[in-house]
Amino acid sequence: MSDTRRPSSLPGALLLSLALLVALALRPAPPADASPAEQAAEPAQVACAFTNPAYSGACRESVDLLPGRTPAESCKPVLDCLNTTACLKNYCQATTIRSGWKLESAKVEPKVEKERPRS
């Protein structure tokens, strides 16, 4: 009597799964000129740069890229805060200058998870 069992396809399925995982791990990040929807698919931050004639140098703050928003729109809440005395948040090394701020640039960057302190 001959053995009519089908050979197992486990090695083939395992190789296919491994190839898929490698392909996903090596896929490139979306380009910087991608649409906000494309960029929102990946966790991202926006590097906002603000200037003010009364402030020495440029102020840089990182914010989350808001879904469906452009990088500049994501920086707007920080800009609004810097230009109003009613805002209690600290930006730009806790400056007390609360008018005359301008957004100079807003660039998307990959989101960097902050390391947790070792205990």
Cα–Cα distance for residue pair 104/71, rounded to 1 Å: 12
CB atoms near residue 59 (< 10 Å): 20
pLDDT value at 7 more than 60 = no
Instruction: Tell me the average pLDDT of the chain.
Output: 79
Sketch the domain layout of the chain as residue ranges: 36-110
Radius of gyration in angstroms for the set of CA atoms belonging to the chain, rounded to a whole number:
24
Residue scoring higher pLDDT (83 or 20): 83
Mean of the pLDDT values across residues 43-53?
A: 93
CB atoms near residue 48 (< 10 Å): 24
Structure confidence by residue, pLDDT tens digits, 57-81: 889 999 999 899 999 999 999 999 9
Residues 92/102, Cβ–Cβ less than 8 Å: no
Q: What element of type H or E holds 10? A: helix 10-25
The confidence score (pLDDT) of residue 40 equals 46
Query: Alpha carbon 57 to chain centroid distance?
Result: 24
Residue scoring higher pLDDT (60 or 34): 60
pLDDT value at 115 more than 70 = no
pLDDT value at 39 more than 50 = no
